Amino acid sequence: MSENPANFLIKCAPSDNVGIVTHPFGLTKGTTIINEIILQHDIPMGHKVALEDLLAGDSILRYGHKIGIANTDISKGSWVNEENIDRPNPPSLKDLQWKPSSPKPLNPIKGYTFQGFKNNNGSVGTKNILGISTSVQCVAGMTKYIEAKIRRELLPHYPNVDDVVAFNHSYGCGVAINTPAAMIPIRTIKHIAQNPNFGNEIMIIGLGCEKLRPERLLPENAKDNGSSVVYLQDESFKGFGAMVAGIMDTAERHLKKLNTRERVTCEASDLVVGLQCGGSDAFSGLTGNPVAGYAADLIVRAGGTVLFSEVTEVRDGIDLLLPRAATQQVANALIEEMRWYDDYLTRGQADHSANTTPGNKRGGLSNIVEKALGSIVKSGTTSIMDVVSPGEKIRTKGLNFVATPAGDFVCGTLQLAAGMNMHVFITGRGTPYGLNVVPVIKISSNSKLSDRWFDLIDLDAGPVALGTKNVEELGWDLFHLILDVASGKKKVATDLLGLYNDLVLFNPGPLT
């Protein structure tokens, strides 16, 4: 690769009037880039340079779309950032109209398989885990104690079971359980217990006096499938030792059933891949997200399911997303989720500028529009087949929009509830994000990060920026990596190191 500065600049679309600096150390003032343009400032990696003389009021174009408006004259070669551009207003939801123009289906691909754990209900696990759900934070001390004890004393006897995971959360009591918003955390807990990786062995630890009745967390067929609820206030428990013994017995009953599960060959169509980005930089939308988007298309072509999310990250690009809705119904649902979130933020006295972090800005993302465009790229190009409200389960294969907040752990938690069995996470600035329920494949958007975090990143999409690999190549690499990890053949970094975030519920209602 030549050290010619022009090679360290990317235009995302032909009509763009800004380019993105891709050199790992940035480009310095005075450097000549394409079209004889001389840089007027030192411009860091991931940041934007004006490729034309711009006047105050001119649109700033990236990805061929308007990401901002110059708030001052900006001369060719200048650094373009949140100081000299203003954010365009988000598209009004009222004015949006869907027309039957959703993308044509891509050619199917066949013959791709992985080794998974088939469940009776048709879902497929990529791990075999005893999941312990809880109805209230009050029991968290006990479940942490029990989780460690099961891992130490029982798991060695059940070699086909990968792990035990207790889901402690802050919901269940001291909450406004009758507000409309309460259904979100409640169904989230309920549906996480049904995640394919728990093999439909549903075990709940409750206290007894909490507002959230543990029975509400059971599936409809709870009796048939041997679901269990243990209440710590059960009068038959004489003291702590008896509680522990009771829970251990119940756990062992579930472990015996889980231990009969074995990996069998499954079609790639059994994949439910949740996509997410966090700690994004300007490269995320150039490298990592397009690579994920390419792989998303492959999964859809193979008949699988892809989830993308993060309402506040697509809200400002909703006009670009809407035409991809498969039907009028999907379009309506998409708009309805945006509207719900607009209202939620307004009630909370927040606005859209609340997204984009200091890290995003330092990474070159000037505002939420630029971030949204880069974020949407990871959904690939196929039609949106369904919209899933927060905490709900998926109903349809293909590409699904799962409406969630953008915070990594909240989004991941809701994607788990939706039924995700594989997770792909793109980061530019770096996060050790990991979940214990599903494997998280972490993609770096730039090679500087993957070089530094060599043992925390699973796939480097940085070469796309330097032109040494292309999106298609890396998209296929990611697709194969997903199949290998889903099969248990390869382990992701966070599983090797044992780094796991907490699951965090989305509770839009008040505490009492």
Please state, in angstroms and rounded to a whole number, the distance separating the CA atoms of residues 249 and 235.
Answer: 17
Residue 170 three-state SS? coil
174, 219, 246, 303: residue in contact with its own copies (rule CB under 8 A): 174
Per CB under 8 A, does 44 bind its own copies? no
409, 469, 473, 477: residue in contact with its own copies (rule CB under 8 A): 409
85, 129, 138, 268: residue in contact with its own copies (rule CB under 8 A): 138
Please choose, out of 4-12, 123-131, 376-384, 446-454, the segment that lies near its own copies by the rule CB under 8 A. Answer: 446-454
Q: How many CA atoms lie within 13 A of 62 on its CB side?
A: 33
Could you tell me how many residues of this chain bind its own copies (CB under 8 A)? 83
Per CB under 8 A, does 454 bind its own copies? yes
State the DSSP string of 204-267.
EEE-SS-SS-GGGGS-TTTTTTT-EEEETT-TT--SHHHHHHHHHHHHHHHHHHHTT---EEEE
**What part of residues 470-489 is at the interface with its own copies (CB under 8 A)?**
none
To its own copies, the closest distance from the beta carbon of 46 in angstroms equals: 12
Report the Cα 439 to chain-centroid distance in Å. Answer: 12
Please choose, out of 33-41, 100-108, 111-119, 353-361, the segment that lies near its own copies by the rule CB under 8 A. Answer: 353-361
Secondary element (H or E) of residue 79: strand 79-80
Buried-exposed string 387-419: b where 16+ CB fall within 10 A, e elsewhere = bbbbbbebeebbbbbbbbbbebbbbbbbbbbbb
Cβ closer to its own copies: 145 or 476? 145
Please choose, out of 76-84, 218-226, 329-337, 430-438, the segment that lies near its own copies by the rule CB under 8 A. Answer: 430-438
**What part of residues 216-255 is at the interface with its own copies (CB under 8 A)?**
232-233, 235, 237-241
Name the β-bridge partners of 66: 61
Cβ closer to its own copies: 338 or 483? 338
Cβ closer to its own copies: 88 or 508? 508
Per CB under 8 A, does 381 bind its own copies? no
Per CB under 8 A, does 213 bind its own copies? yes
Residue type, 58: D
Please choose, out of 91-99, 268-276, 288-296, 494-502, the segment that lies near its own copies by the rule CB under 8 A. Answer: 494-502
Overall residue count recorded for the chain in this entry: 512
Please choose, out of 116-124, 316-324, 471-479, 492-500, the segment that lies near its own copies by the rule CB under 8 A. Answer: 492-500
Per CB under 8 A, does 56 bind its own copies? no
To its own copies, the closest distance from the beta carbon of 203 in angstroms equals: 18
Buried-exposed string 117-142: b where 16+ CB fall within 10 A, e elsewhere = bbbeeebbbbbbbbbbbbbbbbbbeb
Please state, in angstroms and rounded to a whole number, the distance separating the CA atoms of residues 83 and 391.
Answer: 38
Cβ closer to its own copies: 324 or 429? 429
Per CB under 8 A, does 497 bind its own copies? yes
Rg (the chain; Cα; Å): 24
**What part of residues 145-164 is at the interface with its own copies (CB under 8 A)?**
145
Tokens at residue 43, please? 């411009």
Nearest to 370, CA basis, from 40, 5, 20, 93: 20
Per CB under 8 A, does 314 bind its own copies? no
